[in-house]
């Protein structure tokens, strides 16, 4: 602990240089730096609940829970802190009744104390793997309830904490309640010294939509009403579009069947279109805004922010980044559109989510082109209610979390 405190003091000493660099790199602003050192632009209210999530993923995972807590009369204000500009931008786009955002204080004793003295939180709730030693020590000195929700500890991070056993045992024992998102984390938390550990599930399954998707226009509606979308390729990377067209060409029975491709990086669209043309596939680019040719084979969504309006048009969605060593893409938007998910072997960025969806028979992995063809062929003949199924599961997780928090909030 002494070594960590010395390290934070070194950071404070070099803070002016670090701040200038981060502002130059657009990782911080003057305002975010000010908040991180204890100069705030919002006023606290009594009965304040404090949540802290590192970045966009962690912050989005708690929004449904925060929305529920806003309904409670005994809570006047909810403060969400985070570390990144992107998370602040996301929170700004969401309508809240009682919730405000500020940036998380630098984990130095005097700055954390200033933060706690100013905001006077009634309960402190950290999300996933946000373990800040000075913040935790000072919270417990003030005898405030400290909770870790949607906790996540991987085997790699567990080994690091285990190597600092004398330090980690003391730290993890300070949490009054830990709610891990999976069995692996449950086991690791107990080994690291957490006493009150309850397994409730992954809050990311409850994640709300950031925005309501726009509807298809008249021309698009007419086109898709006259067609059957064989499947959709979502967030595809280089080479994956060609893989999708190989499945499409093998299974397509007539010109009334089409393929939707939504590349992860739209700047690649002209290369994708070129590849499709070389395979004699008629491609319509969404950005063209013109009349959609009736013989279109592939509808290419080459604009940002419009993917969601196309997701519900097919029963099957292939999630990209899974055929290359990229680690996959988040499949939850696809599932919420009432589609099943198929994917390649590389999904290490979302291992727990894919494992859960596989167990619930909502997502299916393939390793070869032949397996992918069979999945699209067989799953297209079945009607799925993945949206309802996920909604039931997520409500259970949300309610269990609320029950556990009600003892402190």
pLDDT of residue 212: 52
Do residues 260 and 201 both lie within one domain?
no
Can you tell me the mean pLDDT for 238-244? 97
Can you tell me the mean pLDDT for 11-37? 95
Highest mean pLDDT among 158-167, 242-251, 344-353, 386-395: 242-251
Q: Whole domain around residue 50: which residue ranges?
A: 2-209
User: What is the rounded distance in angstroms from the CA atom of residue 244 to the CA atom of residue 233?
Assistant: 7
Question: 166: which DSSP letter?
Answer: H
Do residues 147 and 266 both lie within one domain?
no
User: What is the rounded distance in angstroms from the CA atom of residue 334 to the CA atom of residue 210?
Assistant: 14
Domain contains 338: yes
Instruction: For residue 332, give the H/E element and its range.
Output: helix 332-336
| Whole-structure pTM value | 0.81
Do residues 127 and 262 both lie within one domain?
no
Q: What is the CATH number of the domain that holds 198?
A: 3.40.50.11720
Do residues 127 and 62 both lie within one domain?
yes
Percent of the chain with pLDDT over 90: 82
pLDDT of residue 3: 77
User: What is the rounded distance in angstroms from the CA atom of residue 339 to the CA atom of residue 334?
Assistant: 6
Please count the other Cβ atoms lying within 10 Å of the Cβ belonging to residue 42.
12
Q: What is the CATH number of the domain that holds 325?
A: 3.40.50.2000
Over residues 159-203, the pLDDT tens digits come to: 999 998 888 999 999 999 999 999 999 999 999 999 999 999 999
User: What is the rounded distance in angstroms from the CA atom of residue 390 to the CA atom of residue 33?
Assistant: 39
Do residues 127 and 248 both lie within one domain?
no
Do residues 36 and 126 both lie within one domain?
yes
pLDDT at 210 over 60: no
Domain contains 107: yes
pLDDT at 9 over 90: no
Token digits of residue 244: 């999708």
Token digits of residue 116: 């706690």
Do residues 325 and 192 both lie within one domain?
no
Do residues 190 and 159 both lie within one domain?
yes
Q: Where are the alpha helices (DSSP H) in 176-239?
A: 183-191, 218-225
Over residues 244-289, the pLDDT tens digits come to: 999 999 999 999 999 999 999 999 999 999 999 999 999 999 999 8
Question: 207: which DSSP letter?
Answer: P
pLDDT of residue 385: 82
Do residues 160 and 271 both lie within one domain?
no
């Amino acid at each position: 602990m002494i070594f960590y405190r010395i390290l934070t003091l070194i950071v404070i000493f070099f803070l002016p240089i670090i701040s200038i660099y981060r502002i130059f790199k657009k990782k911080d602003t003057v305002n975010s730096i000010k908040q991180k050192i204890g100069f705030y632009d919002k006023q606290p209210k009594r009965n304040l609940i404090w949540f802290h999530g590192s970045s966009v993923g962690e912050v989005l995972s708690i929004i449904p829970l925060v929305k529920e807590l806003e309904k409670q009369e005994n809570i006047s204000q909810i403060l969400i802190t985070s570390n990144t500009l992107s998370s602040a931008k996301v929170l700004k786009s969401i309508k809240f009744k009682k919730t405000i955002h500020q940036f998380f204080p630098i984990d130095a004793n005097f700055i954390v104390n200033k933060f706690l003295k100013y905001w006077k939180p009634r309960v402190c709730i950290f999300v996933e793997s946000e373990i800040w030693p000075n913040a935790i020590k000072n919270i417990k000195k003030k005898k405030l309830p400290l909770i870790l929700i949607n906790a996540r500890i991987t085997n790699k991070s567990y080994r690091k904490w285990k190597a600092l056993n004398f330090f980690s045992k003391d730290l993890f024992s300070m949490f009054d309640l830990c709610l891990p998102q999976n069995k692996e984390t449950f086991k690791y938390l107990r080994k690291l010294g957490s006493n009150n550990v309850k397994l409730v599930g992954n809050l990311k399954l409850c994640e709300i939509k950031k925005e309501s998707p726009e509807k298809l226009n008249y021309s698009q509606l007419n086109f898709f009403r006259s067609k059957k979308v064989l499947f959709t390729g979502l967030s595809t990377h280089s080479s994956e579009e060609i893989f999708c067209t190989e499945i499409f060409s093998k299974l397509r029975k007539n010109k009334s069947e089409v393929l939707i491709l939504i590349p992860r990086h739209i700047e690649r669209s002209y290369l994708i279109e070129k590849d499709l043309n070389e395979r004699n596939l008629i491609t319509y680019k969404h950005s063209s805004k013109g009349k959609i040719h009736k013989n279109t084979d592939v509808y290419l969504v080459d604009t940002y922010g419009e993917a969601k309006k196309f997701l519900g048009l097919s029963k099957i969605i292939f999630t990209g980044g899974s055929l290359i060593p990229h680690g996959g893409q988040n499949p939850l938007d696809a599932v919420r559109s009432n589609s099943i998910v198929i994917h390649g072997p590389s999904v290490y960025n979302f291992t727990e989510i894919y494992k859960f969806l596989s167990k619930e028979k909502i997502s299916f992995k393939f390793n070869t082109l032949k397996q992918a063809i069979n999945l699209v062929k067989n799953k297209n003949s079945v009607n799925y209610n993945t949206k309802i199924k996920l909604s039931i599961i997520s409500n259970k997780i949300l309610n269990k979390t609320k029950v556990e928090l009600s003892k402190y909030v």
